[in-house]
Chains A and B, each alone.
Chain A
Amino acid sequence: MRAFNYVAAGDIQQAVRLLAEHGSEAKILAGGTDLLADLKSSPHPPRMVIDISRTQGLGGIEVTDKGLRIGALVTHTEIMKSSVIQEHFPALVDAAHTIGAVQTRNLGTLGGNLVTAVPSMDSGPTLMALDAWVVLAGNSGNRQMPLTEFFKGPRRTALKPDELLMEIVIPAENIGKPVNFLKSGLRKGQALALVNAAGSLWLDAKGRIREPRIALGAVAPTVIRAPNAEKCLAGQVPTPEIMVEAGKIAAEECKPITDFRASATYRKEIVEVLVKRVLMHAHAQALKK
């Protein structure tokens, strides 16, 4: 690894001040599972690494009046072990479990997974299907935005050079919303998603689908929603046929690439199947409530 300067930020204010000072010369280090691999191969490594892995105020999982707050530094292992998340969102546990393997889940953080913003990330779809938003800390104060606006492209986010992802919030009205996550990879461990998908829905008093959400990974430059598929579900009686139809529409509205892992055609076929399945699982959860 090439030489760089290193500073461990004690608190969020210090971290954003250092970011403002060093601008694009600086990189944030949290879990390190992406950054260290990048630093070893990058032709233009940063001059300054700002370590936030022990920075105060970026951890913790708790229910507040705004919703379920997950600190950016929460690791995938912590998500899997959180009793609050196990109770309200088993799909987030499932998604965390598909990331890397034990060693990388112990280091890697939810915030890091979102900020790295690779299209095949496994944290994004479930959060997006739950209308999660992110809170960014900056030198001129905090701002928040929906996760859908946070992702700008492969490895690109809405973060300004002096901003830091502070926390992720699932809005209070969606706590306990039935949601399911599925991933298709070439292996169970240490595999990037060929496609991943999350679906959530409520059932109204008449048993019809309310606020359906479908989010897909690895089939577009960022994690995306499938709005046309959602429209076909809204207000409908949840039948297997309508879920099959939603899968077909979702496959049409995503734009996967062909690479050495899978062809675009194959990815679209998986989208069709995964969307149907996440909807069926979410529906089954809704019936139990």
Chain B
Amino acid sequence: MDIRLTVNGSQHALSVPPETTLLGLLRNQLGHTGAKLGCDVGDCGACTVIVDGKPVNACLMLAGQADGREILTIEGLASREQLHPIQRAFEEHASLQCGFCGPGVILSAKALLDENPDPSRQEVRDGLAGNLCRCTGYTKMIDAVLHAARVMRNETDHSGAKVEG
């Protein structure tokens, strides 16, 4: 079937078999391997991408259902010049170890902060509940998301120093 979609700002027109998932399309057709194939049934969140502003499991969406939609993957988050504030906070808080879950976790965090720029710790936990991590125990991820939120609200810089009004 024929599909048109926008991935990280670039438009694509492709033809894929109907049983192709959005995850398969991103990884195999477009070479965006940031979204990972983990459980393949929507439990682990490693395949999380943002579709029309909402985080979803790309393994649970058919490519055909993404027709006409706008997709953001981890490849579209940083610019050539600098990391996204969430990525930078993850780096500074040493929030990832093996990193397999990272693209999904960071996109879940991005979707959360886009909607709620000042989340409570509990809201961050809830926003990341769909992403499994077997290395870190989550604490440093949650710290990083809260820190990134403060940076994005211009309340602090990445060192944690207060931004002078």
CB distance from A55 to the nearest CB of B (A): 12
Contacts of B54 in A (CB 8 A): 77, 106
Smallest CB gap from B58: residue in A: A103
A33 contacts which of B21, B42, B45 (Cβ < 8 Å)? B42
The docked-state distance in angstroms from the alpha carbon of A15 to that of B21 is 22
Smallest CB gap from B19: residue in A: A1
The docked-state distance in angstroms from the alpha carbon of A51 to that of B60 is 13
A103 contacts which of B17, B40, B55 (Cβ < 8 Å)? B55
A-B pairs with beta carbons under 8 Å apart, 23 shown? A1-B19, A1-B21, A2-B19, A4-B18, A8-B64, A31-B60, A33-B42, A33-B60, A36-B61, A37-B41, A40-B40, A51-B65, A77-B54, A100-B42, A101-B45, A101-B129, A102-B112, A102-B126, A103-B130, A106-B55, A106-B56, A189-B126, A189-B130
Contact with A along B39-57 (1 / 0, CB 8 A): 0111101001000001111
The docked-state distance in angstroms from the alpha carbon of A1 to that of B37 is 14
Would A32 and B65 count as touching, CB distance under 8 A? yes
Query: Main secondary structure on chain A at its contact with chain B?
Result: mixed
- B51-75: which residues lie under 8 A (CB-CB) from chain A? 54-57, 59-62, 64-65
Taking the complex as formed, is B108 at the interface, i.e. its CB lies under 8 A from any CB of chain A?
A: yes
- A227-282: which residues lie under 8 A (CB-CB) from chain B? none
The docked-state distance in angstroms from the alpha carbon of A267 to that of B26 is 43
In the complex with contacts A4-B19, A49-B18, A104-B130, A40-B41 CB distance below 8 A: yes
Would A29 and B55 count as touching, CB distance under 8 A? no
Would A36 and B18 count as touching, CB distance under 8 A? no
Taking the complex as formed, is B98 at the interface, i.e. its CB lies under 8 A from any CB of chain A?
A: no
Please name the 3 residue pairs, one residue from A and one from B, whose CB atoms are nearest each other, closest first.
A101-B130, A189-B129, A6-B18
In the complex with contacts A33-B60, A36-B59, A51-B65, A5-B130 CB distance below 8 A: no
Taking the complex as formed, is A148 at the interface, i.e. its CB lies under 8 A from any CB of chain B?
A: no
Q: How many residues of A contact B (CB 8 A)?
A: 31
Contacts of B59 in A (CB 8 A): 36
Would B60 and A29 count as touching, CB distance under 8 A? no
Taking the complex as formed, is A180 at the interface, i.e. its CB lies under 8 A from any CB of chain B?
A: no
In the complex with contacts A103-B45, A103-B108, A36-B60 CB distance below 8 A: yes
Would A5 and B55 count as touching, CB distance under 8 A? no
The docked-state distance in angstroms from the alpha carbon of A189 to that of B55 is 15
The docked-state distance in angstroms from the alpha carbon of A2 to that of B21 is 12
Would A32 and B62 count as touching, CB distance under 8 A? yes
Would B127 and A102 count as touching, CB distance under 8 A? yes
Would A104 and B57 count as touching, CB distance under 8 A? yes
